[in-house]
Chain A
Amino acid sequence: MKRLTLGLIVLLLLAAALSVAAGKVWVPFDAWTADDPRSIIIVELRLPRTVLALLVGSALGLSGAVMQGYLRNPLADPGLFGVSSGAAFGAVIALYFGYAAQMWLLPGFALIGAGVTMTLLALIAGRSGSLILFTLGGMILTSITGSMTSLAISLAPTPFVSSQIVTWLLGALTDRSWDDVLVAAPLIVLGMGVLALTARSLDALTLGETAARSMGVDPARLQRLVIAGVALTVGASVASAGIIGFVGLIVPHLVRPLAGNRPSAILLPSALAGAVLLTFADSLVRLAPTVSELRLGIAMSMLGGPFFLYLLIAMRRRLA
């Protein structure tokens, strides 16, 4: 297990290095010193973008692993809770009313959206801890916030505002700065800490909820930890980067063959692998030979779709 962690850390450093070097503008190494004006690109644009990619990637990877462990379902994705949709709706409101020009308002609204959605989920699912209620509640919230977002797009005062909203929703890390890192980092780190606390309870859940309860798992506390952790990590991720899907879904599957099937064993590797995957993808979208960058959310979907097809085929072979 330790070898896997080391290997992932090495990959992570490589991905980070690539991300700092990658971009539409080639900045030669001798320009990296403070005298050259192009060093601004490295210090103020590429470095914070890399850090943010690492943070968001690890947040999404970890919350995906926790979600799959909690719901005992390898198809679970952090978006199932409705938090990404709720956070996105918050941001869309900021864009709709034109508040986004102020620095802190867009992430602020997104976080409020995440918080409200998660509170509603906690109220809907209640203390029962029932997974069905939970999942259905998340789907309902996704559906409601999604339709309100579509409403905002259709009611947008000009076609330009609606296209701005749609573009933001597609997810990107373009031109992010240290201010964005300042907002996202504490929330993501805190959220990941909360999620890490669920590790052993997730293991116990392998045997089902009844057995887990008899072993001493507190289902209400576990649910609170999961909701709070996902709200913080995914909320902060959406606030920084828009909606980026598939990371939380794919990464645990990539990691399981190497780390084993135990839920607690895949948490750290999922965080690391998520960081590697997203940072690498973010470098690719800048290096692709298109005039403007491919939207990161789209790139992840294009990766995620075929991967899922492959998973299905492999599963079918196994069941046959």
Chain B
Amino acid sequence: MSVGRSDIKVLIFGIGNPGRRDDGLGPALLQEMRGADVSRGTDALASEGARSGADPRRDEGAGAALEFRYQLNVEDAYTIRDFDLVIFADSSSGGGSGATGVGEDAGTRGPEHGAAGVTQDGANGVRKGGAAAEVVPEDVALNEIGPSATIAFTTHEMSPASVLGLCHELYGRTPRAFALAIRGYEWDLGEGLSEKGRANLARAADVLRRFLDEQ
């Protein structure tokens, strides 16, 4: 897989905690992009390819730069500033809300705290932009997002929209951005994805590859 146009700089964030089962779907997506075997567990794999701060090379896979994040932070406004296209991949508790599931409280998470900081649009599929709209499996959602000036109740856990908003204020531009929400089911302490989570991961990777091929 590769990005359709070689002049587009693409960054993919894999967001989540690999020590909380399907909360590791975001980092696991990065392994899919690298073509790695995710059945070994996502925590160790999430750090594969990690470079020290001194190494100017980025971790790359499938023609895109790959970044693992436990959670997004304010300095990610700096990270994204020079990219043309950014994908925020994170687990979802389902319902197309983009909310990142966290065990029993999964349903209470508002969209601004979820996988994308995306308000629910009720649709599963790529919308807006130049990408072709297409039907995707119901447990995967890829939605375009824009900058927001709203901060969640703690700035130590920033939504993608807030990162875009801060980037706009500090650096005068924002990349085109999409949120990739991958439905998860199990959130207990522990490594390894659930069977259904793993299946959704494969679907999500396929959706993302096709989307990037069309850019």
B partners with A: no
B interface vs A, CB < 8 Å?
none
